[in-house]
Amino acid sequence: MPATTLRCRVCETQYPLDPIGICARCFGPLDPVYDRDEQRRTVSRESIAAGPPSIWRYADLLPVAAPAEQRLAPGFTPLVEAPRLAETLGLGELWLKLDTANPTHSFKDRVVAVAAAKALELGRTTLSCSSTGNLANAVAARAAAEGLEAVVLVPASLEPEKLIATSIYGARIIAVEGSYDDCSRLSVELSFELDWAFVNVGLRSYYAEGSKTLAFEIAEQLGWELPDRCIVPVASGSLFTKIARGFEEWSELGLLEGRLPRMNGAQAEGCSPVASAFAAGHDVCRPVKPSTIAKSLAIGNPADGPYALDLARRTGGGVDAVSDEEIRAGIKLLAETTGVFTETAGGVTTAVLSKLAARGEIDPDERVVLVITGEGLKTLDAVRGTFETRTIEPTVAAFESGVGHAVAA
């Protein structure tokens, strides 16, 4: 395992590889530090390609050892071209990274797998988290696969589909009256009282690193090349920044050549602290009270917001927000042109892609990757009532009358 220590991203104080969520000196985030010389000696395109078809093919680039038994292994999800969507929007080369193909149908399986590996190393017997839904699904399933207990804290207003998908794995669900930010504060307080593995609190430094594997896969699936632009949903900002960090690490190791892609973040207008700060030219995100159908992105006080702002600016990208109606339109557009049914977060990214294309910000020769983080069956209420059906009697005459097409004799 090449990780040697944890280091504060702000003040650079170093810590041992323990379950420490934030810097005790400045409250900054902690990132694993790797032995780059060792990685250069041991990691190559050939060694990666010889690995399993999951995130564990990148074990030498992660802060935990690969599990001896890789149960329910996530990752190596499809990267598919989307020519009809590209043509509709007037774009050239467009790819979809479909993390809907993970075990619980979202990218959260990646981060939980890494955090759970650390939890097992530490001998913890209960996995826990605060969640807007997808993380709760992933924690519950991972705990079931590993023989652990699971307890999740979610907003009481969460989509019922996500609650059902979490409960079926046997997790205990605590519905909190309030927003995700209220759940998050409570889980932080509980982490000081309980000997549980809170994946997005004490194990956050390990958990967040799992998102890098999206970048690794995108580059590998593109033939060891970088895309020109990535469009990624922004909630806490961690996924957005860690994807970029994954590209940077592979460039540092000599596995890739070229400049970092333009990074475009996508938020819903009803919870857009990062997009608002970007538009206003601010460096700090002002907390907001979420009110949007995109509940998986409804984090009003994003921990990695300032880093997301910096990344968008230094790569020549941006952070945009779209309305709930634009989100529904994005879900429909993606489905009708690609056959992919996404949850609301994917509707946000697709709507932002449409907005960028309409503004002429994407060059026709750019290679664009749209990150689809979750499955549409998780958020059925968002599109309920947006279609109509015609009920007819079971006769040809009724079909012709109701549908308006004559049947050839």
More reliable by pLDDT, 381 or 23 = 23
pLDDT number for residue 402? 78
Query: Per-residue b/e over 47-76, b at no fewer than 16 CB within 10 Å?
Result: ebeeeeebbbbbbbbbbbebbeebebbbbb
Q: What percent of the chain has pLDDT over 90?
A: 88
Quick check: 32 pLDDT over 90? yes
pLDDT number for residue 163? 87
pLDDT number for residue 385? 81
Mean pLDDT of 200-208: 95
Mean pLDDT of 219-243: 98
Q: In which band, very low, low, confident or very high, does the pLDDT at 162 lie, cut at 50, 70 and 90?
A: confident
10 Å Cβ neighbour count for 352? 29
Quick check: 157 pLDDT over 90? no
Of 9-23, 162-176, 317-331, 389-403, the least confident: 389-403
pLDDT number for residue 407? 62
Quick check: 66 pLDDT over 70? yes
Q: In which band, very low, low, confident or very high, does the pLDDT at 235 lie, cut at 50, 70 and 90?
A: very high
Quick check: 25 pLDDT over 60? yes
pLDDT, the chain, mean: 94
Q: In which band, very low, low, confident or very high, does the pLDDT at 408 lie, cut at 50, 70 and 90?
A: low
pLDDT number for residue 182? 92
Quick check: 409 pLDDT over 60? no
Angstrom distance (rounded) from CA 183 to CA 156: 10
| Two structure tokens written together for 305 | 């917001």
pLDDT number for residue 406? 61
At 69-117, the pLDDT tens digits run 999 999 999 999 999 999 999 999 999 999 999 999 999 999 999 999 9
Q: What are phi and psi of 162, to 5 degrees?
A: -75, -35
What amino acid occupies position 253? L
At 280-339, the pLDDT tens digits run 999 989 999 999 999 999 999 999 999 999 999 999 999 999 999 999 999 999 999 999
Angstrom distance (rounded) from CA 79 to CA 64: 26
pLDDT number for residue 159? 83
> Three-state SS across the chain?
CCEEEEEECCCCCEECCCCCCECCCCCCEEEEEECHHHHHHHCCHHHHHCCCCCHHHHHHHCCCCCCCCCCCCCCCCCEEECHHHHHHHCCCEEEEEEHHHCCCCECHHHHHHHHHHHHHHHCCCEEEEECCCHHHHHHHHHHHHHCCEEEEEEECCCCHHHHHHHHCCCCEEEEECCCHHHHHHHHHHHHCCCCCEECCCCCHHHHHHHHHHHHHHHHHHCCCCCCCEEEEECCCCHHHHHHHHHHHHHHHCCCCCCCCCEEEEEEECCECHHHHHHHHCCCCCCCCCCCCCCHHHCCCCCCCHHHHHHHHHHCCCEEEEECHHHHHHHHHHHHHHHCCCECHHHHHHHHHHHHHHHCCCCCCCCEEEEEECEEHHHHHHHCCCCCCCCCCCCCHHHHHHHHCCCCCC
> In the block, which residue shows the tokens 């469009």?
231
Where does residue 221 rank: exposed (0-12), middle (13-18), buried (19+ CB within 10 A)?
middle
At 240-293, the pLDDT tens digits run 999 999 999 999 999 999 999 999 999 999 999 999 999 999 998 999 999 999
At 354-400, the pLDDT tens digits run 999 999 999 999 999 999 999 998 888 888 887 788 888 899 888 88
Q: Which CATH architecture has domain 79-105+210-382?
A: 3-Layer(aba) Sandwich (3.40)
> Three-state SS across 106-175?
ECHHHHHHHHHHHHHHHCCCEEEEECCCHHHHHHHHHHHHHCCEEEEEEECCCCHHHHHHHHCCCCEEEE
Angstrom distance (rounded) from CA 309 to CA 319: 8
